[in-house]
Structures are given as C-alpha cells and as structure tokens.
Amino acid sequence: MSAGGAATGPDGVDVPVLAADRLRVERGGATVLDVPSLSVSGGETLAVIGPNGAGKSTLLLALATILKASAGSVLFRGRPVGAGEAALPYRRRIAVAFQEPLLFDGTVAWNAAEGLRLRKVPPAEAARRAGEMLEKLRVAHLAGRSARTLSGGEAQRVSLARAFAVDPEVIFLDEPFSALDPGSREGIVDDLETALRESGTTAVFVTHDRVEALRLGDRIAVMSGGRVAQVGTPDEVMNRPADGDVASFVGVETVLDAFVVAAGAGTFVARAGTPGTSGPAPSVEAVGTCGVGDRVLLCIRPENVTLSLPGGPGTSARNAFPGVVSKVTPQGATHRVVVDCGVLLSALVTTHSVDELGLAPGRPVVASVKATAIHAIRR
Amino acid sequence: MQMILDGLREALRLLLTLDPEVVRIVVLSLKVSGSATLVALLVGLSGGVALAFLRFPGRNVVVAAVNTGMGVPPVVVGLFVSILLWRNGPLGMLELLYTPTAMIAAQVVIATPIVMGISLAALQALPEKLRWQAVGLGASRLQTVWILVREARLPLLAAAMAGFGGVISEIGASIMVGGNIKGYTRVLTTATVMETSRGNFEIAIGLGILLLLLTFGVNATLTKIQQRERPR
C-alpha cells in the first residue's frame, strides 16, 4: 500500500498530490467543465458532489486523463501530466472504478489482477496482490467464479479490489455505489472506508449522495453547472454554503430571500421577502455582520428547526414563528413537517414528537430556530 | 422418386467408400476456403479494429464501402479477379488464372468485407465505458485495443464463421477464376454444378450432402466454443 502522507516537491515545498490548473472541457462548443484551480493533498479523500449534469464525472474523467481537456492541465505531484500516450506513466500510478463494475470476461481472480498484468507485474506476484485485495473486500471466496455470474454488490467489490490491487497513488471513484441496493451498499461503503484509511490512498470520490460524501470525504467539493461552487470541510459546506445552489444541494431546505432591517454587534435582524413588502413575513435574527438594507439569503437546515405548541415553553424566544402545519411527510424514524409562518419553514421531527404534538395539516404550532443555526449569505 | 433414392444410395456409397476423387474435392475445398478465411481474418480483423478505433477523414466512406462489400455477389468478384489475372490483364504475368491460388484470392475478396464489417460492428457494440475502464486501469493504447478485442471475442468468432460460410458455399467466383479443372481446381460447389448439368444426380446429391456436412461441422465446432465461452 502506498504511503499517503504529504507530498513534497523538488524544492522541499509541500505540493498537492493532484491539482487542476485552469482545467476546461468543451463538448459541442459548450463548456461542460471549467475549474480554475482545485487540489487534493496526499492521503486526502475529496468527495465531489452535485446534482446530475453538474460535471462531477467529467471532472473525474479529466483529472484521470481519460477525457482530453480542451484547455488547462492536470498536475501530479506538481508536474503537468501529458496528453494521450504521454499520460501513461501517470495513469500507471492511479486507478479508476466506475458506477458499473465493468468487469472483463474472465474469473474474479483474473479480473482483480488485470491492472497488475497491464503493469507487467510477474504473474505470481500479481495473483498474490490481487488475492490480498479480494480478501480485504470480502470476495476472496469468489476468486474462481466467472465475473459474469456475480451479483451487483459482489461485482462492485471485485471492481474496487481491482483498482486497489495496483496500489494506486490516487484512486478515482465515480459513483461506485449508486447502482447498488441499500443493503449491499452499506457494507461496501464500510469496507471502502477501511481500505482508504488503511492504505492512506489519496482519493477523488464522486457521488450524488451527500451522506456518503460526509462519511468518506475529508473535504467536499460541490459542483454546479460545470464549476466548483464550493470546496471545504464537511462542516463548512453543510453549515456555511457559499450560495443558494450549494445550500439546496447540501440539504438546507429553507432558503429565505431577506433584507436586513436592523444590525447590531455581530447580529442582525432581517425580514424575509423583498424591501417594501409589508406582508406577514417574519423577522429573523441571525449571527453575522451585515448593514441595514443588505440583501441576504438565510439558510436554515430542517434539523435545526424545533416545533412546539402555542403557549408552550420557548415560544416567546426571538426566532419563534407562529404558524400552521401545511404538510407532514413520514421518512422512517423522522417526519418532515412544513410549517407556513408567512414563509414556509421545513423541520425534521421525530415520530414520537409528531404523535405527542398531534402534528397534522392545519395544526397551529410555533417554529423556533436559534440565531446561531442560521447561515446568512450576502448577495 | 426412384431417382432421388438412387441418388441418396450412391451418395452414401461415395461417402462411405471414401471415393478418391470425392476426397480430393473435399480436401481442396477446405484448403481453398480455409486459407481464404485465414487471410480474410487477418486483413478483416485488422481493418475492423482500425475502423473501430481510429478517426480519420474519409472514415465514413470506408465504412460504407465495407458494408457494401459484405453484399457483393461472388460472380462480380469472379469477373473482377478474372480481368485482373487475364493473360494480358494487369496481373497477367503472374499466370495465376485457373489455379487454386486465384480461387483463394477471389474468396479473400469475398470474405474480407464480411469479417471486417462484423468485427467493426462487434467492437462498436462494446460500451464506451469499457474503454474508459481499460485506460483507467493503466492500459496503453495497444493494451486497450487488445482488451476490447478480447471482450468482443464471441462476436468476432461469428465473423470468422460468416466469412467461412460465405466462401465455402460460393460458386460464381470459383468457377470463373478456377475453371473447375478436374484434380486441380475442382471444389464441392463447382463439382456439384457440373454433375447436376450432366444429369449425374446421385453424385451431385452426394457432393451436396458433403458440402452441408462440412459447413455444419465447422460451424458446430465454432458454435461449441462460443457456447462454452458464454457466461452461465
């Protein structure tokens, strides 16, 4: 397994293992990827998330030099990677696994050793290393089976073993779990997490599932419209989204367009709606530095909204908005409750609380949010 | 009715006694069509691979030409090769007309587009992501081609079968450039035509059965390999 630690350039300065420099991909005259700069440090897992068509897979293909970039370059340990066959030395130091297992026609053991054979590793050594990875991904017992007879989960495990077997310095994973049922997915995510941690391999992990991204990513890049809208730690991206698109993708269900009506030391009060409206839209207190008249987007995650009955404790707090339940959607152990309090506020409530408060459409409630749980984006 | 029964009886006798003339005809048929298929595989497979993986100006014209070639009538090929090899034709100095070599050449022209067209279709039918996967595992350009050819090996086997089937059963080109010379260029199809025109139905039926058995035998063998390879 390769050592993950920080990479050091020729002049002794730390350089990222992988970087994109003004990387652009065009297709049919349209720009489908435009990434001025992006870097991945040694041993780090960068999770790339975003809606369908955001350019996640294009970014992965371009970074792995499978797709030819129209402009810009990929830097590996500080040095630009060539194009076409000149990228071969680089491609021999990475590995890619896709959403589909894409196993070749042959046995499991033979598939797992394919990357090693391509690198001219002696057969005995290749078989040993492939066997070890099959063991790690819990499919060693299938070694003699034809790859075409495997279930989806088994095949994906073999595909991951094949990628890890070459001991890559960077592993690229393009939505490797999205075609799997939840049962098989859970176990594979666990084993991938272990494999990444034990090997310390630098990874670029594309997914549209933010829960997987939070779990595996040391940092998260959110893509939208072919651009990287935000890169940051999971906490930064989840709780301090850079713009409305990122906010809605990372699960901020309430994004209020508001304008600041009062500003104090480190806090401000904003009214939802546009200046001049005098409707019943509530005033919201949030933490941050803004000037009166500023327009802001207020991001409120549903898990930060608490519901109580009118007249109950806490309903007189600053950010307590009386309203009426407009929709209740069961989601396993929790319910998603939408409250109309001049604006629509989404809350996540346990099934127990739904029963206790008798939450149903038409029920008057008070929705409260702490000022510190509101993230404001200045527009 | 009696004629057909006599024919069948005579045919069986010819087959069971391994009549020397019949054996010679069968061996020559296999030699000519087998060699032609081998050459066509070499040329057709390389061409199919090149057309599948290379992008060059005029590629579509070449693909259209190959597809047209798949359906060219053997007599037209026979005519074309005859003209080339005619005593005062462009290749007349080779003195190949009415030789087994001329028959092989004509059959190569017939089988190559068939092999090339089916190979191209087989390789193009592979998912694009399979190429990405090969490249993403560190395959060089040649290794990628090899991986994809290997993945398409079953349909490529079908290309070989179709090529052989096309030439073992053709008659137009063989009779035109081979001349059906007894003991030299007489193959199963040309002999069957000749015996039928002479009214020797028993021999013609015998040759016909042999031709059928031969085609069936070769195809059955290839099919067996294909079925064994097919994933359970």
- Assess if residue A291 is contained within a domain: yes
Looking at the structure, do residues A374 and A234 belong to the same domain, yes or no? no
Best of B137, B157, B225, B232 to disrupt the A interface (most A CBs within 10 Å) is B137
Q: How confident is the model at residue B228 (pLDDT cuts 50, 70, 90)?
A: low
At CB < 8 A and 24+ separation, what contacts does A146-150 make?
A146/A105, A146/A106, A146/A107, A146/A108, A146/B231, A146/B232, A147/A103, A147/A104, A147/A105, A147/A106, A147/A107, A147/A108, A147/A110, A147/A111, A148/A103, A148/A105, A148/B231, A148/B232, A149/B231, A149/B232, A150/A101, A150/A103, A150/A108
Judged by a CB distance cut-off of 8 A, whether residue B54 touches chain A is: no
Closest CB to A118: pick one of B127, B138, B229. Answer: B138
pLDDT in the model for residue A11: 56
Q: Do B138 and A61 touch (CB under 8 A)?
A: no
- Assess if residue A129 is contained within a domain: no
Distance CA B214, CA A4 (A): 63
pLDDT at B191 over 90: yes
Residue-wise pLDDT tens digits, B20-73? 888 999 999 999 999 999 999 999 999 999 999 898 999 999 999 999 999 999
User: What is the nearest CA distance from A269 to chain B, expressed in angstroms?
Assistant: 53
pLDDT at B140 over 70: yes
Collapsed DSSP state (helix, strand, coil) of residue A228: strand
pLDDT in the model for residue B163: 93
Distance CA B20, CA B22 (A): 5
R_g of chain B, CA atoms, integer Å: 21
Looking at the structure, do residues A221 and A285 belong to the same domain, yes or no? no
Residue-range definition of the domain harbouring residue B26: 2-229
Q: Do B138 and A146 touch (CB under 8 A)?
A: no
pLDDT in the model for residue A239: 87
User: What is the nearest CA distance from A334 to chain B, expressed in angstroms?
Assistant: 39
User: What is the nearest CA distance from B229 to chain A, expressed in angstroms?
Assistant: 9
Looking at the structure, do residues A316 and A243 belong to the same domain, yes or no? no
Q: How confident is the model at residue B77 (pLDDT cuts 50, 70, 90)?
A: very high
Q: Do B231 and A119 touch (CB under 8 A)?
A: no
Looking at the structure, do residues A179 and A273 belong to the same domain, yes or no? no
- Assess if residue A274 is contained within a domain: yes
Q: What does the CA dihedral A365, A366, A367, A372 come to, rounded to 10 degrees? A: -170
Q: Do A166 and B141 touch (CB under 8 A)?
A: no
User: What are the residues whose beta carbons fall under 8 Å from the beta carbon of A102, sequence distance 6 or more?
Assistant: A159, B127, B129, B130, B132, B133
- CATH number of the domain at A289, please: 2.40.50.100
Distance CA A110, CA A221 (A): 35
User: What is the nearest CA distance from A106 to chain B, expressed in angstroms?
Assistant: 9
User: Please, what is the average pLDDT of chain B?
Assistant: 90
- Answer yes or no: are the C-beta atoms of A246 and A210 closer than 8 Å: no
- Assess if residue A358 is contained within a domain: yes
Residues of A with CB under 8 A from a CB of B: 61, 64, 66, 85, 88, 91-92, 94-98, 100, 102, 104-105, 114-115, 118-119, 146, 148-149, 162-163, 166, 172
Q: Which residue of B lies nearest to A113 if distances are taken between CA atoms?
A: B137
Angle at alpha carbon of residue A357, lines to A352 and A360, rounded to 5°: 100
pLDDT in the model for residue A113: 97
Q: Do A88 and B133 touch (CB under 8 A)?
A: no
User: What is the nearest CA distance from A104 to chain B, expressed in angstroms?
Assistant: 7
Distance CA A360, CA A325 (A): 6
Q: Do B232 and A148 touch (CB under 8 A)?
A: yes
Beta A267-272 vs A30-40: how paired, if at all?
unpaired
pLDDT in the model for residue A316: 59
> Tokens in use for A118?
């391509």
- CB contacts of A101 in chain B (<8 Å) are none
Looking at the structure, do residues A265 and A339 belong to the same domain, yes or no? yes
Distance CA A343, CA B217 (A): 79
Distance CA A125, CA A121 (A): 7
Looking at the structure, do residues A235 and A297 belong to the same domain, yes or no? no
Residue where one domain finishes, among candidates A222, A247, A272:
A247
Distance CA A53, CA A56 (A): 8
Closest CB to B232: pick one of A115, A149, A172. Answer: A149
pLDDT in the model for residue B50: 94
Closest CB to A100: pick one of B129, B147, B153. Answer: B129
User: What is the nearest CA distance from A95 to chain B, expressed in angstroms?
Assistant: 5
Looking at the structure, do residues A68 and A217 belong to the same domain, yes or no? yes
Looking at the structure, do residues A32 and A72 belong to the same domain, yes or no? yes
User: What is the nearest CA distance from B37 to chain A, expressed in angstroms?
Assistant: 26
- CATH number of the domain at A233, please: 3.40.50.300
Q: Do A105 and B231 touch (CB under 8 A)?
A: yes
Looking at the structure, do residues A227 and A261 belong to the same domain, yes or no? no
- CATH number of the domain at B112, please: 1.10.3720.10
- Assess if residue A148 is contained within a domain: no
Q: Do A91 and B141 touch (CB under 8 A)?
A: no
User: What is the nearest CA distance from B145 to chain A, expressed in angstroms?
Assistant: 12
Best of A63, A118, A129, A149 to disrupt the B interface (most B CBs within 10 Å) is A118
- Assess if residue A88 is contained within a domain: yes
Residue where one domain finishes, among candidates A247, A282, A304:
A247
- CB contacts of A146 in chain B (<8 Å) are 231-232
User: What are the residues whose beta carbons fall under 8 Å from the beta carbon of A109, sequence distance 6 or more?
Assistant: A127, A130, A131, A134, A143, A144
B14, amino acid identity: L
ipTM field: 0.84
Nearest to A343 by CA among A361, A364, A356, A326: A326
Collapsed DSSP state (helix, strand, coil) of residue A358: coil
Looking at the structure, do residues A288 and A239 belong to the same domain, yes or no? no
Looking at the structure, do residues A226 and A278 belong to the same domain, yes or no? no
User: Is the torsion defined by CA of B81, B84, B88, B94 positive or negative?
Assistant: negative
> Tokens in use for A335?
């319910």
Residue-range definition of the domain harbouring residue A365: 252-378
User: What are the residues whose beta carbons fall under 8 Å from the beta carbon of A231, sequence distance 6 or more?
Assistant: A38, A46, A219, A220, A221, A222, A237
Residue where one domain finishes, among candidates A247, A266, A293:
A247
| Domain count for chain B | 1
- Assess if residue A330 is contained within a domain: yes
- Answer yes or no: are the C-beta atoms of B124 and B52 closer than 8 Å: yes
Closest CB to A91: pick one of B127, B130, B135. Answer: B135
pLDDT at B232 over 60: no
In order along its 379 residues, chain A shows pLDDT tens digits of: 444 444 455 555 678 999 999 999 999 889 999 999 999 999 999 999 999 889 999 999 999 999 999 999 999 999 999 888 899 999 999 999 999 999 999 999 999 999 999 999 999 999 999 999 999 999 999 999 999 999 999 999 999 999 999 999 999 999 999 888 888 888 899 999 999 999 999 999 999 888 899 999 999 999 999 999 999 999 999 989 999 889 988 888 899 989 999 988 888 999 887 555 445 678 899 988 888 889 999 999 999 999 999 887 766 567 888 889 999 999 888 999 999 888 888 999 999 999 999 999 999 999 999 988 999 998 8
Q: What does the CA dihedral B122, B125, B126, B129 come to, rounded to 10 degrees? A: 160
The whole-angstrom distance between residue B148's C-alpha and the CA centroid of its chain comes to 24
Judged by a CB distance cut-off of 8 A, whether residue B55 touches chain A is: no
Looking at the structure, do residues A206 and A322 belong to the same domain, yes or no? no
pLDDT at B3 over 80: no
Judged by a CB distance cut-off of 8 A, whether residue B232 touches chain A is: yes
* Residue listed under structure tokens 């070449």: B62
| Domain count for chain A | 2
